[in-house]
Structure 1
């Protein structure tokens, strides 16, 4: 720290955050702690010393908590407070409903992380009791200590992108599971089919040929052998269009036709297993179609936000890759800095030092796992074509005795990608390799005459 006041950037950011929270949790307002559940809501009204002023159980759904907030406001006014601050844990969808009801009544609204509540519950006493009554008081006490946060205000567009991103992630998981099942089944009963193409599950010709063979034979290859290679190729030419290609690579079709005579595998299970593969191929095709539809909608949302050109200015980052990341982050403008976004993803380094001891630095691993995964997937393309990211990765994995393992270097590059994505969106400027490398534009070196 070189500044005269000895206040670091972290101190300034923390002070700013605490100032925003103090505006929402002023000492002139009572704190309403609510433990949300399905049909039972525990509401307590507390002062800033965690003294309970009123307590009541409302056996209603979250949508009917308006009466509870009105009751809490009356109790706070009776105790001499000018207003109330509503606090809860982000439980399912209920906290969003509560936030909406609080906003309709001009009440401040904050959330308390469940993990912090769990730690506070352990420090409450040695019984480790967990009841709705105690949890509501703990929520209010943590709010009074400003150990809370301001929940993200999601508008319609960013909210839609988040839901589409969640839908796409589920479809990606389904696709991965279907491929793994098909691979396991074929390795057992017909391993020769997997060697017909270098990357069978990336080949539309392989998938189309397998669909034709299994749809005709159901595990008995006699009919396809009688059909002959020429007629099989004609059927594959029609089927491959359904898989999204214009024409097949017939070398793969010929390899699969030759593999019909291969007897390797558990023959007794072949017919039933291949029938399952036939079903999985149909499911795989449909899941691929649904994923493509969702991706098109995500890119359309990105176009509507006028961000597509900006985010794709980062070499190697596709529009869908950026949309997947932004579906997890929300609007990057809500983060005070690029480092805050990296910390939100759990990719920030965790410092461990005390006195003369310096521990091993690792990433925190906290935050949103989905965002870490999206950033990790995003660098698969940038490491190949982005010169800045490739150079950074090479430097981290080859520097002296302190070089990183490949996975550690990839995590560092993923964090850099998030910082750069934040920068191009917040500033509205396209990606610049000089800024990405040095943090600013290099000035041209003046050569003396």
Structure 2
């Protein structure tokens, strides 16, 4: 499908013909409702209420095929409103049956529901018809459900994000523990997750434990596993702050148990992250174009894995602009007559993909010479200079195009891929 919006819209409208059965369904957790219309919006047959199980999905497929035969429809387009995760098994089932699945924007459903009966009423039965009408008017998109290694990659990267969030919470709770029972500890070990620090936390969690052992015994314990980086001066400093600590002394038994539990969670989440990334790296080895994408200075394995997890197979996209729209980075404008409003990004896309790209671009403007030059050019040019954040957003789109080009054509990174020969010459002249 063409990447320009006007061409895409025309293709979607012409996709719905006299021989097309358009089905809209409102998806819930257990019971779904589906209604069917033709290309003019005339409802065909009765609605279909089906359960979210094998029998219910089979009932839906049989209902659509029988309805198509009755009314002479040879093609079926099934659409839903993707407001949750309950539609994933349904979409996979229908695709196996050879039935095309499309999605409509939930925002559009909410805004157009009054066109159905001039009422604010909302129900599953009504929403199914509204969804079907949006589809026949071409207001839909075709979801690209990940398959094979891309499906594994999406699950693993989503899991990594959740485990990382849990790990961050545990770190915050450990910091809270130190604030209550040993606030001076951070002055001795700036990074409490170092090897010697973790050994101390497990063996001598409270100031009283360190005072009871003494500096020499603490150092001897460190040297059983840490040979360099800590010595008697560190041990004596730890002993000194423990003696003068203002930490709580009541509830010592529970405090030790709390820290022991938190450290167990800390170790668990770290091990899980390591295991997840090990599997992710093995998957990336089998995806064409990944090696070339990793040649971009400032782009690492996590960025590439997260990008592919959200986008899927890059060969499904004819142009990087399609991915830009998928990320919600395409520009919107609010103008009328002589008034020209400010432009901004639509944010009608995958927020996780936008966040990933933004986090990737920020260090790239410092480490990647081409992106650094473009960032300086965008923010200092004489005509229409961009603010720093606007420039970073523009570079997110540039990064998408670069990754798409390298991934599909499987060629090594070159600064010309970012700036182009003309822009590269202009920036060099300005610098001179």
Normalising by structure 1, we get a TM-score of 0.83
Distance in 2 between residues matched to 1:113 and 1:215, nearest whole Å: 52
Q: CA deviation at 1:23?
A: 6.3
Distance 1:345 1:259, change over 3 A: farther
Distance 1:236 1:25, change over 3 A: farther
2:214 matched to which residue of 1?
228
Distance 1:401 1:336, change over 3 A: closer
Distance 1:335 1:12, change over 3 A: closer
Distance 1:276 1:330, change over 3 A: same
Equivalent of residue 175 in structure 1, options 167, 171, 182: 167
Query: Which residues of structure 1 form unaligned runs of 5+?
Result: 1-9, 241-245
Distance in 2 between residues matched to 1:253 and 1:388, nearest whole Å: 48
Equivalent of residue 367 in structure 2, options 381, 385, 404: 385
2:120 matched to which residue of 1?
128
Question: Is the 1:383–1:390 contact (alpha carbons within 8 Å) kept by the matching residues of 2?
Answer: yes
Higher relative contact order (CA 8 A, sep 6+): 2
1:194 matched to which residue of 2?
186
Question: How many pairs align?
Answer: 424
**Deviation per CA, 1:90-133, whole angstroms, max 9, x where unpaired?**
35444333333333443333222222212222444553211111
Distance 1:389 1:88, change over 3 A: same
Question: Is the 1:316–1:385 contact (alpha carbons within 8 Å) kept by the matching residues of 2?
Answer: yes
1:44 matched to which residue of 2?
35
Q: Which segment drifts farther, 281-290 or 161-170?
A: 281-290
**Deviation per CA, 1:226-285, whole angstroms, max 9, x where unpaired?**
433343234335566xxxxx8555576665444323424555577755653443232112
1:3 matched to which residue of 2?
none
* 1:434 maps to 2:425: no
Distance 1:235 1:41, change over 3 A: same
Distance 1:59 1:84, change over 3 A: closer
Q: CA deviation at 1:79?
A: 2.2
Distance in 2 between residues matched to 1:249 and 1:371, nearest whole Å: 42
Q: CA deviation at 1:135?
A: 1.0
Question: Is the 2:36–2:47 contact (alpha carbons within 8 Å) kept by the matching residues of 1?
Answer: no
1:374 matched to which residue of 2?
356
1:143 matched to which residue of 2?
135
Distance 1:416 1:87, change over 3 A: same
Which residues in structure 2 correspond to 1:174-323 (within 5 Å)?
174-198=166-190, 200=191, 204-205=194-195, 208-209=196-197, 211-219=198-206, 221-238=207-224, 248-250=229-231, 255-265=237-247, 275-323=257-305
Distance 1:101 1:223, change over 3 A: closer
Distance in 1 between residues matched to 2:415 and 2:87, nearest whole Å: 42
* 1:27 maps to 2:9: no
Question: Is the 1:216–1:224 contact (alpha carbons within 8 Å) kept by the matching residues of 2?
Answer: no
Question: What secondary structure is seen at the aligned counterpart in 2 of 1:354?
Answer: coil
